[in-house]
Structure 1
Amino acid sequence: MNIKDIVNRDIVNLTNCESEPIHIPGTIQPHGFLIGIKKQDYLIDYCSANSTDFIGLKPEQLLGQHFTDIFQDVQIAQLSAHITDSYIDSPKPFVTTRNGIPFNTTAHLSGETFLLELEPFPNGALDLPNLYDQTRRFVSAMEKNNTLVELCQEIAHETREITGYDRVMIYRFDKQYNGEVIAESKRADLESFAGQKYPHTDIPAQARELYIRNPLRMIADINYTPVPLLTTDSNEEKSNQSLDLSLSILRSVSPIHIEYLQNMGVGATLTVSLLQDNKLWGLIACHHYSPKILPHYQRLAALLQGNFLTSQIKVREVAEEFKISEQVDKALFDSLSLLHEDENFVENHYNSASLLQLANASGVVIYQEGKLYTNGLVPAQETLLPFLGQLRYLYKNGSGHTEQLLSIYPEGRELTKFAAGIIYHAMSASSSDCILWMRQERIETVHWAGNPEKAIDMNAGGFRLSPRKSFELWKEVVKDKSAEWRKSELNAASSFAYALQKYLNLRQVRLEEERYRIINEELKAANKELANINWISTHDLKEPLRKIQIFASKVLDREDPELSLKVKDSVERMRYAAEKMQLLIEDILNYSKTGSVPKVFESTDLNEVFQSVISDLKDTIEEKKAEILHDILPEIPAIRFQIQQLFVNLISNSLKFAQDGVSPVISITYEIVGPKMLPGNSSLKNVDYHKISFTDNGIGFDQEYRERIFQVFQRLHPHHKYPGTGIGLAICKKIVENHNGILIANAKENEGAVFTIFLPVQLTAAK
């Protein structure tokens, strides 16, 4: 028979200690023996080399045999029902008997192999412990102890009473998995470890993972000799990798951990995992200073103590957090009440005590509109202002917090006296306005159980990792850090910052509303004056102008020989000036009306509008011998009289600016275009548009004037040759804008011009 061991012989060194495969050592502790049977046929595939010590059979007598040939009293069906994937231990163990000797048998499935770990009952007892008394004592401890630490101390005493270990400690891990002894029960002559911390490197990540998977772990004798596991398979691929011992009770321990415990002077250990939310919260660690095998039921009693404590951890932590959150919530309520009651909260209440208490801060700063409002202990203004600017850059999402400012702002060492920890909330994305809570530096002396740095030894083989050899008290002074911000404090600060932001925004809105109200009143007064001017223009100015024109005409019509040519010329100029002024008044009134009349849209057939305009301009068209071509035009929602004015102005413009000796040709074309065809500056690009173009062969203009021609009183040509007021195209643009449209012009000198109108197809676009 070909027998080989599956011992993991990898050397643990500096490069692999953090990934040491402690779950597949290929060895076990010697206070029991192990048998691995194939799941499909119950043939023994693995056994430990110490089987002879317990049942008198050598490994070669076990390997390859059917399990029931060795243990005749065991029922296979009973064993199969007992084994489950997640099984580790049970209040009532599976008992395997050989030659009348009962063995406590822990069973679980590892891959395709059933692992049976058999331990003799050291005192021969098969009875369960008094669970009633144990539970009763825990309930009593739970009732009389108010804090979690007090309860942990009670659990430590009770666990030591149950197990008989020389020392029982309860560790609590921090966020970095550094452990702190928060409770201890010990032999009177032993030095206390209470309050000491142990670095996270003492329990590496893979060990913590096993503590989560297997909550109970015992080392009966620190100085044990590992027992190899044997198999008959000659296949080289069958190695320690084939047998995962993560859930094993007898699994051998890392040599690094053994050396660590030897350096502490420990002889035996028992650990119970304390879990919260599937994470390792802490450990119950039991130390004995000589070898100690704890019977199965006492182990279960210790595990039950861990379960008791685990059930209370979150309850006690929440209760302790609740007490603080009550105080925080009251301060938050007081601050919010002041905020809602006073329009000028920042100016009048920035120094209120509740503003500090809602985050249990030592200082708070509000920066608003270039002014600093400080409360409590804060840095000087000359260092604070640049610091606030840096925080805006560091917290681009608008908020953040830290207990160690130097970790995000190394230049801020001089600030840590006031702001070792901060909570920051921006009030505005467009300015530096913000609120900042600060906590002073808390200088803390941490008591480590020995220097937390692992030692590196040099020997003949080179560098090797060595566990710490000294566990004497080693003090470390921690500076530049504040107390940790609690969740309730962070939530309260966030709630107040949000409320303050809303308050400041509402106040700004109210100020803007007041400013616009004043402007609106001024505009109303101005509009009233303009209305008066319109009335004067319509009635008081037009009537004198009409009389001037009449009297001038009468003077000229008389042809009085006594009037000199010079007088007649002056009268003619006066009459012409009056006509021009009257025309200007009419155009100004028309321009004013395009922006002031109600925008009442009605379905308008542009073909009818076109025909009406042609009829009005019939005499001019015939006089100019003009030719007007047009497409079939659409029916659109429009302000009818304004659209008619638009057509009149554009066609009249083309007739007016015809080339000398060339008959005007005006072409009106129509099509529907998509939003991509609109000019680049348009913001109305979400619907289709009517495109109506007026093209002529007139004198045109230089393209540099394509925007200027739409401005009021802008003229490109001499008045004596092309009469007008310079308002007509401005009126056209205003009318198109009233219809949420766009009017553009393109031209070449002496070749003609094109005026293009874009009007949205959808009525909703013309609200």
Structure 2
Amino acid sequence: MKIKDIVNKDIVNLENCDEEPIHIPGSIQPHGFLAGITASGMIDFCSANVSNFISLDYRSLLGKPATALFDTEDPLQLLATAAAQPQSSVTVSCAGKSFSCFVHKSGDTIIAELEPAQADSLQLTALYNLSLDSIHALQSSDTLQKLCQNVASQIRKITGYDRVMVYRFDEDYNGEVFAEEREEYLEPFLGLRYPHTDIPAQARQLYIKNLLRVIVDVDYTPAPLFTIDDAKDKNLDLGMASLRSVSPIHIAYLQNIGVRATLTISLLHEGKLWGLIACHHYSGPKHLSAYTRVSAQLMAQLLTSQIRVREVAEEYEIAKRVNTSLEQLLLYPNELNRLSFADMVQRPELLEVCKAGGIAIMHNDVIYKAGNTPADDKIRQLLQFLDSNNHRPFFQTTRLSAVYPEAGNDCNTASGILYYALEGHGQNCIIWFRPETNEEVHWAGDPDKAIIKNEKGLSPRNSFALWRQIIKCRSLRWENPEISATGTFANALQKHIHMLALSEEEIKYRELSVQLKEANDELENINWISTHDLKEPLRKIQVFSSRILSREQKDVSEVVIDSLRKMNASANRMQRLITDITSYARLRHTDNQHLDVNLNELLKEVIAEIKEDVNDLSRYVVIDDLPVVKGVELLLHQLFVNLIRNAIKFRRKDVELRIRISCLADQPYEAAPDPARRFSKITISDNGIGLDNIHKENIFKVFTRLHNQSEYAGSGVGLALCRQIMQMHNGYITADGTPGAGTDFHLYFPA
């Protein structure tokens, strides 16, 4: 059987240090040993240092069943049960010696990490007293910082480390020592910042998976892992292993700050790495029993369970201040009108609600502002940037220049912004501004020299002297209650702008209604004049001209007689026009109830009425079987009279007149709003002079004529009247024809 070590021999350099595979080092810390066991119970991995703890060698264990290592008949069942519980440990016996065994699964492999069992230094009475102290700490800590300080103190009592720090991350994963408990002789680290490069991304991911990490002695010599050489690139993921060997860069980092042993506990909040509890020991190696580790981790879990509670408590104090201003603001938009934006932005509550330095409202391309703000042209440029790059109704930042470099010249007014888009015209919005704070940050060493390269190769920085940095173009953080309150006001403002717009539209509609009523009254007067006052003079003109033509032709010259005939014809045309206009206008006031109308019976009456115009008309008209439709009989009678008379008027002199009225049931009308609706399609076809289809819409407009009055008499109202009648019956009328071959009029009645 051939075996091999799986030590990761890749060299870490400046190009790949952020991608160092720290989860597969292929070696462990030597204060314990490790065995990897397959699902079938065979030892597949084993650390080289096993012989330092028991009288067995890794070569003799690899490929053997787990019973070769554990003093129990069924170790696989014991380990599988323990591995089912996250980060669990059991006490086992190997070669007659007692060990604390930490068990977890990596893929299909059960990883057993064994450390010599130790008598716990925490007695039951001491543990009880520590528990009482912890509960008291939770109850007495009214702020998150005090709670963290109390937890740091309790963990130092439990573990005995020289220094215990609660380390909190910002949004960029730069760390701050938020609370600290230490030996008096040690230099304080409280308030110091550490750059995100101190804990690279891959390390942060492991801290999320593996919540507790112990380094007993930073000067340790790694123990390599061996395995049976039966597969290419065979390896073992140690991401959850507490014995996992540490990155050489991290070891050098700890050595540079003089640390000999560490304990690190992850603080997770809402699924993210909120911070770490970092315990440092300077006086030598330090080993913790399994029970002590669990006790320390319990304290960390108590802290994480209270993070949101304390944050809410602190936010409540801010919310009380904010709500006072918000209540005043929410009363104001009720009085809003288009002239009051300039007054509104001057209200002090608008700045107090979020401790802003300036405010600007853009409405209908006009900017209203107060306080310290950029110039109008710069505000417009900023809004154009937000509109084209943000694509969201809300945006907030404390470092505007980081996303919009042009703001770098306005840090004294606009380092931070709160932006809410308002629906409507253009870039309507409300935006709050905050100036820069010129914050002084204390770093533990130069943050730009976190990793350096010298004649010895790659190493972390070795200088942790206080490094002061002035942060420019950054405003204070927008607190959650401030964001919530400004959002509430922006929403209320939006609603009232809508109401203002609706109110203005209502005023416009009222004014238009008054104008429309006045116009209708005038039209009614014109209609009355057309019906009575105009017809009377026309009748007199017709009467007198007819008398002269019938009785006194012998005494009047031919020129006068011809003029009288033209005058009489013009009067007749004008009378027909007035009659048609009156009929068209009268349709608007028709509200007759729609009843069943038998079109077969209706067409008989129509033909009987029109036959006076054409002798033996029924001989020229063919009528198919027609349906019963819903409608007003009087109007439908007028509809067919107009269409048949239209066919007669525009007949050709060289052919015998032919008119056919046919019907197709259950037909669609493509232009209908509902394409699925069905119609009875009635077609009136003639063989007259025809129609050029470029005019097929114009012929239904009032006073539209395609021919001279001398060729074909008419007012140009008849077909417009037909369309209006069809509209009153919820139907449609269309026409298509061929010049010289006839015209088809199609009537669509709802089925």
Cα deviation, 1:86-132, whole Å, max 9, x if unaligned, reads: 43245xx4253654x53333233344444333322456769557322
Superposition map of 1:40-439 within 5 A: 40-41=40-41, 43-63=42-62, 67-68=66-67, 71-72=70-71, 76=75, 79-80=78-79, 83-89=82-88, 93-96=90-93, 98-99=95-96, 101-122=97-118, 130-231=126-227, 233-237=228-232, 239=234, 241=235, 243-289=236-282, 290-343=284-337, 346-439=341-434
For 1:622, what is the secondary structure of its paired residue? coil
Q: 1:660 aligns with which of 648, 653, 658?
A: 653
* Distance (whole Å) between structure 2 residues aligned to residue 563 and residue 51 of structure 1: 146
The answer for the alignment partner of 1:718 in structure 2 is 708
* Distance (whole Å) between structure 2 residues aligned to residue 574 and residue 429 of structure 1: 61
The answer for the alignment partner of 2:685 in structure 1 is 695
The answer for the alignment partner of 2:728 in structure 1 is 738
Work out whether 1:457 is the aligned partner of 2:453: yes
| Offset of residue 430 of structure 1 | 3.8
Superposition map of 1:2-17 within 5 A: 2-17=2-17
* Distance (whole Å) between structure 2 residues aligned to residue 64 and residue 325 of structure 1: 65
Alpha carbons of structure 1 residues 13 and 572: separation in structure 2 relative to 1, 3 Å: same
Alpha carbons of structure 1 residues 699 and 458: separation in structure 2 relative to 1, 3 Å: same
Work out whether 1:709 is the aligned partner of 2:699: yes
| Offset of residue 181 of structure 1 | 0.9
User: Identity of counterpart residues, as a percentage?
Assistant: 44
* Distance (whole Å) between structure 1 residues aligned to residue 519 and residue 434 of structure 2: 57
* Distance (whole Å) between structure 1 residues aligned to residue 312 and residue 112 of structure 2: 41
* Distance (whole Å) between structure 1 residues aligned to residue 697 and residue 74 of structure 2: 102
Work out whether 1:583 is the aligned partner of 2:580: no
Cα deviation, 1:623-646, whole Å, max 9, x if unaligned, reads: 779722344333333333222222
Please tell me the root mean square deviation across aligned C-alpha atoms, in Å: 3.1
* Distance (whole Å) between structure 2 residues aligned to residue 125 and residue 138 of structure 1: 18
Alpha carbons of structure 1 residues 689 and 395: separation in structure 2 relative to 1, 3 Å: farther
Alpha carbons of structure 1 residues 398 and 296: separation in structure 2 relative to 1, 3 Å: closer
* Distance (whole Å) between structure 1 residues aligned to residue 326 and residue 404 of structure 2: 29
Q: Residues 553 and 561 of structure 2 are in contact (CA less than 8 Å); yes or no, is this contact kept in structure 1?
A: no
Alpha carbons of structure 1 residues 295 and 500: separation in structure 2 relative to 1, 3 Å: same
Q: Number of residues paired by the alignment?
A: 748
* Distance (whole Å) between structure 1 residues aligned to residue 35 and residue 741 of structure 2: 106
Higher deviation after alignment, 692-701 or 502-511:
692-701
* Distance (whole Å) between structure 2 residues aligned to residue 77 and residue 426 of structure 1: 62
* Distance (whole Å) between structure 1 residues aligned to residue 86 and residue 383 of structure 2: 57
Q: Residues 54 and 94 of structure 2 are in contact (CA less than 8 Å); yes or no, is this contact kept in structure 1?
A: no
Alpha carbons of structure 1 residues 36 and 655: separation in structure 2 relative to 1, 3 Å: closer
Cα deviation, 1:12-69, whole Å, max 9, x if unaligned, reads: 233433333322222221222234444434x544433223332233334544555556
Work out whether 1:595 is the aligned partner of 2:588: yes
Alpha carbons of structure 1 residues 68 and 576: separation in structure 2 relative to 1, 3 Å: closer
Q: Residues 129 and 297 of structure 1 are in contact (CA less than 8 Å); yes or no, is this contact kept in structure 2?
A: no
Alpha carbons of structure 1 residues 125 and 420: separation in structure 2 relative to 1, 3 Å: closer
* Distance (whole Å) between structure 2 residues aligned to residue 447 and residue 704 of structure 1: 83
Q: 2:670 aligns with which of 678, 683, 704?
A: 678
* Distance (whole Å) between structure 2 residues aligned to residue 720 and residue 67 of structure 1: 117
* Distance (whole Å) between structure 1 residues aligned to residue 304 and residue 397 of structure 2: 30
| Offset of residue 534 of structure 1 | 2.6
Cα deviation, 1:289-321, whole Å, max 9, x if unaligned, reads: 122222333323322221221121111112222
Paired AA for residue 335 in structure 1? L
Q: Residues 690 and 759 of structure 1 are in contact (CA less than 8 Å); yes or no, is this contact kept in structure 2?
A: yes
Alpha carbons of structure 1 residues 254 and 383: separation in structure 2 relative to 1, 3 Å: closer
With structure 2 as the length reference, what TM-score do the two structures score?
A: 0.91
With structure 1 as the length reference, what TM-score do the two structures score?
A: 0.89
For 2:441, what is the secondary structure of its paired residue? strand
* Distance (whole Å) between structure 2 residues aligned to residue 398 and residue 662 of structure 1: 72
Paired AA for residue 537 in structure 1? S
Q: Residues 83 and 109 of structure 1 are in contact (CA less than 8 Å); yes or no, is this contact kept in structure 2?
A: no
Paired AA for residue 10 in structure 1? D
For 1:118, what is the secondary structure of its paired residue? strand
Cα deviation, 1:343-365, whole Å, max 9, x if unaligned, reads: 56535423212222334322211
Paired AA for residue 369 in structure 1? N
Q: Residues 70 and 92 of structure 2 are in contact (CA less than 8 Å); yes or no, is this contact kept in structure 1?
A: no
| Offset of residue 745 of structure 1 | 3.5
Higher deviation after alignment, 534-543 or 193-202:
534-543
Alpha carbons of structure 1 residues 632 and 363: separation in structure 2 relative to 1, 3 Å: farther
Paired AA for residue 131 in structure 1? L
The answer for the alignment partner of 2:469 in structure 1 is 476
* Distance (whole Å) between structure 1 residues aligned to residue 355 and residue 667 of structure 2: 61
For 1:659, what is the secondary structure of its paired residue? coil
Task: Give unpaired runs (5+ residues) of structure 1.
Answer: 762-767
Alpha carbons of structure 1 residues 280 and 95: separation in structure 2 relative to 1, 3 Å: same
Alpha carbons of structure 1 residues 567 and 321: separation in structure 2 relative to 1, 3 Å: same
Cα deviation, 1:457-504, whole Å, max 9, x if unaligned, reads: 2659xxx64222222222333322333333333333333222222211
Q: Residues 595 and 738 of structure 1 are in contact (CA less than 8 Å); yes or no, is this contact kept in structure 2?
A: no
Paired AA for residue 13 in structure 1? N
Q: Residues 69 and 94 of structure 2 are in contact (CA less than 8 Å); yes or no, is this contact kept in structure 1?
A: no
Q: 2:641 aligns with which of 644, 648, 671?
A: 648
Superposition map of 1:511-522 within 5 A: 511-522=504-515
The answer for the alignment partner of 1:526 in structure 2 is 519
Higher deviation after alignment, 566-575 or 153-162:
566-575
Paired AA for residue 332 in structure 1? L
Paired AA for residue 22 in structure 1? I
Alpha carbons of structure 1 residues 561 and 263: separation in structure 2 relative to 1, 3 Å: same
For 1:621, what is the secondary structure of its paired residue? coil
Q: Residues 342 and 369 of structure 2 are in contact (CA less than 8 Å); yes or no, is this contact kept in structure 1?
A: no
Q: Residues 607 and 618 of structure 2 are in contact (CA less than 8 Å); yes or no, is this contact kept in structure 1?
A: no
